[in-house]
Amino acid sequence: MFDCIVVGAGPAGASAAYHLAKRGRSVLLLEKQSLPRYKPCSGGVSPVVAQWFDFDFTPAIAQKVERIRYTSKLEDPVTAQLETREPMWLVQRDVFDHFLVQQAQQQGVELRDRTEVCQISWHGDFWQVSTMEEAVTGRYLIAADGAEGPMRRWLGFKPAKQRLGAVIETPTNGHTGQDVWFEFGLVKNGYLWSFPKGDRTTVGIATFIGGEPTDLTQTLKEYALQAGMAMADSHPRAHLLSLWDGNQKLHSHNALLVGEAAALVDPFTAEGIRPGMYSGMKAAAAIDQALQGDQAALEAYTQTIHQEWGADLAWAQKLAGLFYRMPGVAYRLGIKRPTATQRIGQILCGELRYADVANYAIKKLSGSLIPGRG
């Protein structure tokens, strides 16, 4: 009987496992794939996550960037220096995720990869988790199996709001450079991006409002070719994004949702690693308190996520609703303003919250819709 079983060894699940084991709890971490494993993802990580752990992340960081480049339909470029305390991290998810899992293992977490969960059942005071090989039991359960996992549904939560994204890996070359690159205007209701990571560059696409485009991967390939990227052996990989869509219950009897299973993806930028790791850390604290007899600890976890992330992501959702409906205006009034690009960098690096800037930005964009203004 484990104190907790964590299903899913991504950043959220590994963070939860690490912090629970650090508190002396017995933890089983289940992952259906063999580690290290590839994960389609932009791989941008805010350096603020280092504050939540007591080890050095340097071995897991592919590259650090201090500049962001923006274009509108591949023209009108804007380059901004990140005036933040720490550069933005770019990571390869196979390396980063496995590194986190290894840190958890050093704290005593038992890992079983290549182990897919096929059923869960509640037995009054413990969970039974069935895999293809065996059934294991735990007093508490953490669902960290991402946007496409079944745990959220099995635990009885309503479906998350999901959008389709896609990424492609290409060799880094001189044309793509060493800057993070955001492209607005080529895709309706969203954006494209290019993140360099040493010898590879991850190029991605996502939309956030309106109907789902039918040519997402084709648009991604065309963008990569127009940007001068080598595409000979590169193939787009589509994936789901579970966007935050308002406050929701994240706890059940002796179980919590974390990361994308909790729909903790930014509805404006699609950032998911930082909120996922934060939710894992807070879930660990809540379950540790519950194991000590605090019957309100799991409900308090839901409240914490709402207060620390939900309120801010609500601003992100409002901003996305305006920004992506009129990207040309948003680019002219927002991206091209030096202060705006600095604010975006500070948000990406975890030094500012949407609540600090969104109200002004929304008023600015809304004002541009009134004839004679903007």
156 falls within a domain:
yes
Same-domain pairing of 39 and 121: yes
Q: For residue 358, what are the domain limits?
A: 326-367
Same-domain pairing of 261 and 355: no
Residue with tokens 């470029």: 77
Q: Is 167 helix (H, G, I), strand (E, B) or coil?
A: strand
26 falls within a domain:
yes
Same-domain pairing of 39 and 106: yes
- Interacting residues of 371 by C-beta distance below 8 A, sequence separation 6+: none
CA 106 to CA 98: how far, in whole Å? 12
CA-CA-CA-CA torsion sign (353, 359, 361, 365): positive
From the CB of residue 179, how many other CB atoms can be counted at a distance below 10 Å?
Answer: 18
pLDDT for the residue 367: 65
Same-domain pairing of 129 and 100: yes
Same-domain pairing of 36 and 103: yes
261 falls within a domain:
yes
CA 64 to CA 269: how far, in whole Å? 19
Per-residue pLDDT of the chain (374 residues; tens, 9 = 90+): 999 999 999 999 999 999 999 999 999 999 999 999 988 899 999 999 999 999 999 999 999 998 889 999 989 999 888 888 889 999 999 999 999 999 999 999 999 999 999 999 999 999 999 999 999 999 999 999 999 999 999 999 999 999 999 999 888 765 455 788 999 988 989 999 999 888 888 999 999 998 888 788 888 888 888 777 776 667 888 899 999 998 899 999 999 999 999 999 999 999 999 999 999 999 999 999 999 999 999 999 999 999 999 989 999 999 898 889 888 888 888 888 877 777 887 888 888 888 888 777 777 777 654 433 33
275 falls within a domain:
yes
Same-domain pairing of 305 and 349: no
pLDDT for the residue 228: 74
Q: How many domains does the chain divide into?
A: 2
pLDDT for the residue 174: 55
Furthest C-alpha separation in the chain = 68
321 falls within a domain:
no
pLDDT for the residue 200: 84
User: Is residue 230 packed enough to be buried (19+ CB in 10 Å), middle (13-18) or exposed (0-12)?
Assistant: middle
Q: What is the pTM of this model?
A: 0.94
Give the CATH number of the domain where residue 286 resides.
Answer: 3.50.50.60
pLDDT for the residue 192: 94
Question: What phi and psi values does residue 180 have, to the nearest 5 degrees?
Answer: -70, 135
Same-domain pairing of 269 and 157: yes
137 falls within a domain:
yes
Same-domain pairing of 345 and 265: no
Same-domain pairing of 114 and 41: yes
